[in-house]
Amino acid sequence: MNSFALCPLQQGYTPQPANNMIEQALMGGFARQRVQFVNNVHVVNATVSLHDKAHQQYFWSFWRSHTLNPRPFLWRLMVDDTEMTTYQCQFIANSIQVQERNGL
- pLDDT at position 86: 92
pTM metric for this prediction:
0.74
Q: Is 19 exposed, middle or buried (0-12, 13-18, 19+ CB in 10 A)?
A: exposed
Q: Tens-of-pLDDT digits for all 104 residues of the chain?
A: 899 999 888 887 888 877 778 888 888 888 888 887 777 788 888 888 888 899 999 999 999 999 999 999 999 988 877 888 899 999 988 888 887 666 55
